[in-house]
């Protein structure tokens, strides 16, 4: 019979052997970057390369995503897809927020200074997209026109080169390609320079638009971008080459790029609105996508209020306690955070933190941190006022009874102060809840951002935005009601 100890030892050896074998079957993964999931970042405004499937899974889908999934699987990695505006993609690589970028991105000499590229996996052409019948066929026709391009894209650069030769072109830079389409449809611009495959999808969904291929100034092929000297470049290239050989790449481009395919998101080809009409049925299938933003918004608000309250209390105590240095510091802090725009603070925290500290902060963390720091400043003043409004007799009584000062603060003064300032705290919470929409600017898909994505997919803005407004309103009403009940309870317990 095997002795118990030996039995345990045998199991241990067996497990070790298995883990070594498993480990060896995924040598690439282990030796490459020492983690088992890869983060890809993209700009999901570019159907059919990448866009939100708002009417279906709610996830980012497209040609690039399929390729990325294939490569990740081949190399034994999990894939995590994040998003940002196009001009934030390379910065995300440089600050290690992501391992690679796939966004229909073309290698250019300027980009190659900051990142490394894979081999080209798809070759595209530039086109002029314009209203049907506007007859903008070649670059010369753009003279005297306002032309839209995506900020930071190669099309922006190409248009600038065109403008050196063709007179009087007005350039308009937009953050997302869908915005360019929207501007075109509302006639704020005359044309947009967009890649053929993408233009084709947009023109299919918008029969009032047409596109014409032009000679590109610079190569518009797509490649995968990595941080400089990334160990991922070689294995990715290997898989890409094999995809070219085994027909996988052809298969995927047929799936996403062929003209009369139905794989393009059904939400992209929706019935056209005529004139000024409001029809919520058009966003019916996308409502779950917008609703998915609610938990995030609520979570964000609750955490920020809670942490802000703690931080605000600390600050207010620093202001009240006798020490002039801490008082001065706390006052200075408050004045800085109240004296600068919240949106600016948010951008600073999000973009500067990785650069300054090397610590990679997520968009959500950056949001919570900024809102805590900011609301702490506001709350500290409210709490200070609340504390100072508590009847002096209370502290005098406590002191004469020999209660230590911090206990008196904790058990006598603060609870009364909090009760008095409850309405002000509710106001602050409502403010935070609504201001949470600001985190949409750094790529958190909360309520407002979801509504914007739906709008961009369907070229309708009124309905999704109105619906988002309704959600915020209902949330604020719910909050007000809760606060009312809480206040009544507190008053009764007096
Ligand atoms: N190919 C162009 C470039 O590299 C445009 C890519 C835009 N991609 C996007 N996901 N919006 O500049």
Average pLDDT, integer, range 185-201: 92
Asked if omega into 48 is within 30° of 0 (cis), the reply is yes
| Residue 92 and residue 191 in one domain | no
| Residue 83 and residue 228 in one domain | yes
pLDDT at 14: 57
* Domain assignment present for 2: yes
For ligand 1, what atom is nearest to the CA of residue 45? 11
| Residue 79 and residue 132 in one domain | no
| Residue 228 and residue 108 in one domain | yes
Number of alpha carbons in the 13 Å side-chain half-sphere of residue 165: 10
User: Is the separation of the CB atoms in 450 and 440 below 8 Å?
Assistant: no
Q: Is the CB of 106 under 6 A from ligand 1?
A: yes
pLDDT at 5: 58
Share of residues in the chain with pLDDT > 70 (%): 89
Per-residue pLDDT band for 4 (boundaries 50, 70, 90) equals: low
> Using the 8-state DSSP alphabet, how is residue 273 labeled?
P
| Residue 171 and residue 317 in one domain | no
Give the separation between CA 72 and CA 86, rounded to whole angstroms: 22
Number of alpha carbons in the 13 Å side-chain half-sphere of residue 291: 7
Q: Is 242 exposed, middle or buried (0-12, 13-18, 19+ CB in 10 A)?
A: middle
pLDDT at 272: 47
Last residue of a domain, one of 412, 427, 444: 444
Per-residue pLDDT band for 23 (boundaries 50, 70, 90) equals: very low
Q: How far is the CA of 200 from the centre of ligand 1 (A)?
A: 15
Pocket test for ligand 1, best of 44, 120, 153 (most atoms within 8 A of CB): 153
- Bridge partners of 170? 146
User: Is the separation of the CB atoms in 193 and 150 below 8 Å?
Assistant: no
Give the separation between CA 153 and CA 491, rounded to whole angstroms: 60
* Domain assignment present for 363: yes
Q: Is the CB of 182 under 6 A from ligand 1?
A: no
| Residue 299 and residue 424 in one domain | yes
* Domain assignment present for 175: yes
* Domain assignment present for 24: yes
Secondary structure of residue 355 in the 3-state scheme: helix
Average pLDDT, integer, range 92-100: 90
Q: Is the CB of 103 under 6 A from ligand 1?
A: yes
Per-residue pLDDT band for 21 (boundaries 50, 70, 90) equals: very low
| Residue 433 and residue 328 in one domain | yes
pLDDT above 90 (res 366): yes
What is the number of structural domains in the chain? 4
Average pLDDT, integer, range 434-463: 87
* Domain assignment present for 71: yes
| Residue 381 and residue 417 in one domain | yes
| Residue 239 and residue 195 in one domain | no
| Residue 137 and residue 66 in one domain | no
Q: What is the mean pLDDT of the chain?
A: 87
pLDDT at 433: 95
pTM of the shown model: 0.76
Give the separation between CA 57 and CA 24, rounded to whole angstroms: 35
Per-residue pLDDT band for 79 (boundaries 50, 70, 90) equals: very high
| Residue 317 and residue 243 in one domain | no
Could you tell me whether strands 78-83 and 37-42 are parallel, antiparallel, or unpaired per DSSP bridges? parallel
Domain range enclosing 435: 293-444
| Residue 157 and residue 178 in one domain | yes
- With vertex at residue 343, the alpha carbon angle to CA 337 and CA 345, rounded to the nearest 5 degrees, is 45
Name residues whose C-beta falls within 8 Å of residue 279's C-beta, 6 or more positions apart in sequence. Answer: 273, 463
Using CA atoms of 460, 464, 465, 469 in order, give the dihedral in degrees to the nearest 10.
Answer: 160
Q: How far is the CA of 187 from the centre of ligand 1 (A)?
A: 23
Q: Is the CB of 177 under 6 A from ligand 1?
A: yes
CA distances (Å), origin 25, targets 28, 68, 270? 9, 21, 47
User: Any idea what the CATH number is for the domain that residue 108 is in?
Assistant: 3.40.190.10
Secondary structure of residue 247 in the 3-state scheme: coil
Residue, of 195 and 487, whose pLDDT is higher = 195
User: Any idea what the CATH number is for the domain that residue 382 is in?
Assistant: 1.10.3720.10
pLDDT above 80 (res 179): yes
């Amino acid at each position: 019979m095997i002795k118990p100890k030996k039995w345990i030892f045998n199991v241990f050896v067996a497990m070790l052997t298995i883990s070594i074998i498993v480990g060896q079957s995924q040598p690439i993964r282990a030796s490459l970057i020492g983690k088992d999931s890869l983060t890809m970042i993209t700009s999901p405004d570019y159907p059919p390369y990448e866009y939100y499937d708002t009417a279906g899974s709610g996830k980012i889908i497209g040609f690039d995503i399929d390729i990325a999934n294939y490569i990740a699987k081949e190399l034994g990695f999990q894939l995590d897809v994040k998003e940002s505006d196009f001009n934030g993609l390379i910065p995300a690589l440089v600050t290690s927020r992501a391992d690679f970028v796939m966004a229909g991105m073309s290698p250019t000499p300027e980009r190659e200074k900051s990142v490394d590229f894979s081999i080209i996996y798809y070759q595209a052409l530039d086109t002029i997209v314009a209203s049907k019948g506007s007859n903008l066929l070649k670059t010369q026709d753009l003279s005297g026109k306002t032309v839209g391009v995506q900020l930071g894209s190669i099309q922006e650069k190409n248009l600038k080169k065109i403008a050196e030769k063709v007179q009087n072109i007005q350039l308009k830079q937009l953050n997302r390609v869908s915005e360019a389409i929207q501007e075109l449809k509302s006639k704020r611009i005359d044309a947009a320079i967009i890649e053929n495959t993408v233009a084709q999808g947009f023109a299919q969904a918008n029969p009032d638009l047409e596109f014409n291929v032009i000679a590109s100034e610079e190569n518009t092929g797509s490649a995968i971008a990595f941080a400089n000297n990334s160990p991922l470049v070689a294995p990715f290239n290997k898989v890409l080459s094999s995809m070219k050989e085994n027909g996988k790449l052809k298969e995927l481009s047929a799936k996403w790029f062929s003209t009369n395919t139905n794989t393009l998101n059904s939400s992209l080809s929706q019935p056209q609105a005529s004139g000024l009409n409001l029809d919520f049925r058009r966003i019916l299938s996308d409502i779950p996508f917008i609703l998915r933003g609610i938990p995030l918004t609520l979570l964000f608000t609750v955490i920020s209020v809670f942490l802000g309250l703690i931080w605000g209390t600390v600050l207010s105590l620093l202001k009240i306690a006798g020490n002039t240095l801490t008082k001065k510091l706390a006052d200075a802090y408050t004045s800085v955070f109240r004296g600068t725009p919240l949106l600016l603070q948010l951008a600073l925290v999000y973009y500067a933190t990785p650069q300054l500290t090397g610590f990679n902060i997520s968009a959500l963390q950056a949001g919570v941190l900024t809102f805590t720091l900011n609301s702490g400043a506001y709350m500290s003043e409210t709490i200070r006022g609340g504390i100072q409004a508590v009847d002096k007799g209370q502290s005098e009584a406590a002191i004469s009874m020999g209660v230590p000062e911090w206990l008196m603060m904790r058990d006598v003064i603060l609870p009364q102060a909090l009760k008095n300032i409850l309405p002000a705290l509710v106001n602050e919470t409502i403010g935070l809840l609504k201001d949470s929409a600001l985190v949409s600017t750094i790529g958190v898909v909360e309520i407002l951002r979801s509504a914007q994505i739906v709008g961009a997919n369907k070229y309708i803005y009124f309905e999704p935005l109105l619906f988002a407004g309704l959600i915020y309103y209902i949330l604020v009403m719910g909050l007000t009601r809760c606060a009312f009940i809480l206040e009544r309870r507190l008053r009764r317990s007096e």
